[in-house]
Chain A
Amino acid sequence: MSSEIINIENKTKFLDLYKENINLIRNGSPDYINKIREKAILVFEKLGIPDKKNENYKYTDLKKEFENGFKTYLSPKNIKFDIKDIFSCDVPDLNTKVILLLNGWYYDRENPLQELPGGVIIGSFQKAMEIYPELVKKHFAKYADIEKDGLVALNTAFVKDGIFLYVPKGVVVEKPIQIINVLMDEEEGFTSHRNLYILEENSQASVVVCDHTLSATNFLTNSVAEFYIGPNAQFDYSRIQNEHNGSKQVSHLFFHQERDSRVTDSTISLHGGLIRNNVSAHLNGEGCENNTYGLYLTDKGQHIDNFVFIDHAKPNCVSSQLFKGVLDDFATGAFNGRILVRKDAQKTQAYQANNNILLTDDVDIKTRPQLEIYADDVKCSHGATVGQLDENALFYLRARGIPKKEAKLLLMYAFAFEVIQKIKVPALKERITDLVEKRLRGELSRCNSCQMHCCNP
């Protein structure tokens, strides 16, 4: 396999990149995809990379990040490694087969799609476009609106590979599926994977995604994932973001929920130079439940920005958002939680909370709840706090003989625990508990489960 290495700098560069490599980009994609691709590049030309003038990206300067000389991966780069040598997952009870993306490409090129019991299909999105056109056509680019965000348009224009998961009607995937996004290269790289998850009526699955950097080089990621959650289906999606400080990532999750479906999305941001998580959920049927949770632990010059949009389009749905963060040193962050309750969405219950602990005077967090309510019979609440550790509690612990440092950790851990306890996979909950504790202790200089020393280059 050959590798195309092209330098990119800004919007024009992306457009040029597209034009110059049009054949390579189109190659291997079915026509229906290439049609969407063409539309997307035009939209991108119009929208460009969002800058701080864009209300939705006010607190995160992405223009700067995209004006780099990073190469982009228009075809998979052939890096041979034995997954066992560098990565052994010690979360027990997960599906043993690890699903791996390397720089945005499905790693196992020999077996791009696997079938699990019950007709569940998991594997390469690129392959799925070719093998399951009807499925993909039905859902692809239906939930990720290219018109609203230049970065979604960009991702769509360059769509090549990523994860594809299909769970047929009525099938319950017992064990969680683990997906690892690995970034590894000798050169700085720009990754943009595209993922599609389809859960049919009454199905159930849980997915654990770990984002890792396995080499000390700088990376930029702009990923999009679309989730179709059919009637009465249940989906748990947990992410652990643990990349080094030279990595920047923007992720866009689009959940489309049909009636009585339940989605829990938890994002644990342990490490990363710049993290921007966009989560959008469209509750398209009655009786939906959506839980969107986030925990972020940042220090040094790291930046974290969580942007959530919950669209209550139908009556009798419940959504709740809980985002908690601990910011240390001179870290910066933002939380923006938008809840839209449409006119017909009576009996909506929508809750939102964002709590932050600032450990120094030099950190900065912007928190912004936005509620737009057009129905008159709804229950909505929101709350945001920004504060220090409780001095009274700290003294209480110290007065029992617990050293200050230890007492602070206990309190920080207690603060984070509220989010961790919402994770549904017990084994994962334990693992995250452990990781969070290590992270708070400053011992997570590298991922525990990997041989590379990448978190602190």
Chain B
Amino acid sequence: MLSIKNLHANIDGKEILKGINLEVKEGEVHAIMGPNGSGKSTLASVLAGRDLFTVTEGKVTYLGHDLLELSPEERASEGIFLGFQYPIEIPGVSMVNFMKTALNEQRKHKGLEPLSSSDFLKHMREKKELVELDTNLTNRSVNEGFSGGEKKKNEIFQMAMLEPKLAILDETDSGLDIDALRIVANGVNKLKTPKNASIVITHYQRLLDYIIPDYVHVLYDGKIIKSGGKELAFELEEKGYDWLKKGVAV
């Protein structure tokens, strides 16, 4: 589904990603872990198409497309979803209008008719229940005045609405209490099918108690320095990152 080969990216001339290689297949859950500043969020942003970053080398293939050639909206319509680490507040744009526009634009891209208002509302009601999102929140402006936990839940709600093929969740678990974390993880698990895949970026092993990854990768200084199964997460929990960092230094 997604194939990243030797990806290099920089911001303002400073290299952040220094040769990432990653293969993600249908039905898989990949966890990317690593200390602060290792390039986790940059990787997520580059995959979603944020133009703050310049790709200097490498290739990303997604479902047969050269991903780097696509605009952010094309990527989204092709099924890529980025769950933001820091969701943006947009005063004046209602959640309903936002989701309706997004959903119908994606449908348009696929050559489908827009959803009728009643179908849209039904769809929204179902997905809201999935992530236990307060009804009042969808009547408000996008993320405006939402608490940290509500913002993260809202990301999963949007993911549920848009039904992506590849979800990239950028530290969706940070700043959540255990109840919110369970709801978020539960949402992700319920949305999992043999046809879609997720890349879960996290700083804390805790999330992986709820979302069981098929693969765990450790990102450090712009490179994946170790990959393994879910047992790698437990090892990291015990030993921290230092033993791996030493390996790189040597």
Which one of B73, B88, B97, B142 lies within 8 Å of A401 (CB-CB)?
B73
The answer to the question of A376 belonging to the interface, with a C-beta cut-off of 8 Å to chain B, is no
B93 to A401, Cβ gap below 8 A? no
A400 to B98, Cβ gap below 8 A? yes
Residue on B nearest A413 in the bound complex, by CB: B92
The answer to the question of B166 belonging to the interface, with a C-beta cut-off of 8 Å to chain A, is no
Which one of B76, B87, B109 lies within 8 Å of A398 (CB-CB)?
B76
Q: How many residues of B contact A (CB 8 A)?
A: 31
Residue on B nearest A401 in the bound complex, by CB: B76
A401 to B92, Cβ gap below 8 A? no
A117 vs B162: C-alpha distance when bound (angstroms): 56
1/0 per position for B58-99, CB-CB distance to A under 8 A? 000000000000011101110001101001111111000110
Chain B residues, CB < 8 A from A111: none
Q: How many residues of A contact B (CB 8 A)?
A: 22
The answer to the question of B106 belonging to the interface, with a C-beta cut-off of 8 Å to chain A, is yes
What's the least CB distance linking A372 to chain B, in Å? 31
A393 vs B77: C-alpha distance when bound (angstroms): 18
What's the least CB distance linking B172 to chain A, in Å? 14
A401 to B90, Cβ gap below 8 A? no
B90 to A400, Cβ gap below 8 A? no
A17 vs B97: C-alpha distance when bound (angstroms): 57
The answer to the question of B185 belonging to the interface, with a C-beta cut-off of 8 Å to chain A, is no
Which one of A402, A404, A418 lies within 8 Å of B101 (CB-CB)?
A402
A406 vs B103: C-alpha distance when bound (angstroms): 13
Within residues 399 to 433 of chain A, which ones have a CB less than 8 A from any CB in chain B?
Answer: 399-404, 406-407, 410-411, 413-415, 417-418
CB-CB under 8 A for A414 and B162, given A395-B50, A397-B98: no
Given pairs A396-B87, A396-B88, A402-B105, 19 additional interface contacts (CB within 8 A): A392-B88, A393-B89, A393-B90, A395-B88, A396-B142, A397-B90, A398-B71, A398-B73, A398-B76, A399-B72, A400-B102, A401-B105, A401-B109, A402-B73, A406-B101, A410-B98, A410-B101, A413-B93, A414-B90
Q: Which residues of B contact A (CB under 8 A)?
A: 48-50, 71-73, 75-77, 81-82, 84, 87-93, 97-98, 101-103, 105-106, 109, 141-142, 158, 162
| 6 cross-chain pairs, A with B, having the tightest CB-CB distances, nearest first | A414-B92, A401-B76, A400-B102, A398-B72, A401-B106, A396-B88
